[in-house]
Structure 1
Amino acid sequence: MKIHIFGASGSGVTTTGRALAKILHLDYLDSDGYFWEIAEVPFTAKRDPELRNSLIKSDLETLGNWILGGSVFEWGENVFPDFDLVVFLWIPPQIRMERLKKREFERYGDVIYTEPARIKQFEDFIDWASNYDIQNGTANRNFWAHENWIETLPFPVLKISGDFTLQERIDLIIEKIESINKKPLH
Structure 2
Amino acid sequence: MQRGKVHVMGASGSGTTTLGRALADHWSVPHADADDYFWVPTVPPYVEKRPENVRRALMRDVFVPREGWVLSGSMMGWGESIVAECDAVIFLTLDPRERLRRLEAREVHRRAGREFDGVAWSDFLDWAKGYDDPAFDGRSRAAHEAWLEKLDLPVLRLGSERSIDELREAVLSWDPFKSPGSSTVR
Q: Which amino acid aligns with 1:176?
A: W
Measure how far apart 1:136 and its partner are: 1.1
Instruction: Give the 3-state SS of the residue equivalent to 2:6 in structure 1.
Output: strand
Q: State the Cα deviation string for residues 21-64 of structure 1 (Å, max 9, x = none).
A: 11111110111110000111111111121111111133333323
Determine if contact 2:5/2:68 at 8 Å carries over to the other structure.
yes
Partner in structure 1 of residue 119 of structure 2 = 120
1:21-170 matched pairs, under 5 angstroms: 21-75=24-78, 78-109=81-112, 118-138=117-137, 140-170=138-168
Partner in structure 2 of residue 17 of structure 1 = 20
Which structure has the larger Rg? 1
Write 1 or 2 for the structure with the bigger share of helix: 1
Give the 3 Å change call, closer, same or farther, for CA 181–55 of structure 1 in structure 2: farther
**Gap runs ≥5 in structure 2:** 180-186
Determine if contact 2:75/2:83 at 8 Å carries over to the other structure.
no
Q: Which amino acid aligns with 1:142?
A: S
Measure how far apart 1:76 and its partner are: 5.0
Instruction: Give the 3-state SS of the residue equivalent to 2:64 in structure 1.
Output: helix
Structure 1 length as normaliser, TM-score? 0.87
Give the 3 Å change call, closer, same or farther, for CA 20–51 of structure 1 in structure 2: same
Structure 2 length as normaliser, TM-score? 0.87
Instruction: Give the 3-state SS of the residue equivalent to 1:169 in structure 2.
Output: helix
Determine if contact 1:82/1:155 at 8 Å carries over to the other structure.
no
Q: State the Cα deviation string for residues 68-123 of structure 1 (Å, max 9, x = none).
A: 111002115534443211000000000000000010111013878xx6xx111111
Determine if contact 2:40/2:48 at 8 Å carries over to the other structure.
yes
Determine if contact 1:57/1:80 at 8 Å carries over to the other structure.
no
**Gap runs ≥5 in structure 1:** none
| Deviation beyond 4 Å, 4+ runs, structure 1 | none
Give the Cα–Cα distance (whole angstroms) in 1 for the partners of residues 156 and 82 of structure 2.
22
Give the Cα–Cα distance (whole angstroms) in 1 for the partners of residues 130 and 64 of structure 2.
34
Give the Cα–Cα distance (whole angstroms) in 2 for the partners of residues 162 and 20 of structure 1.
14
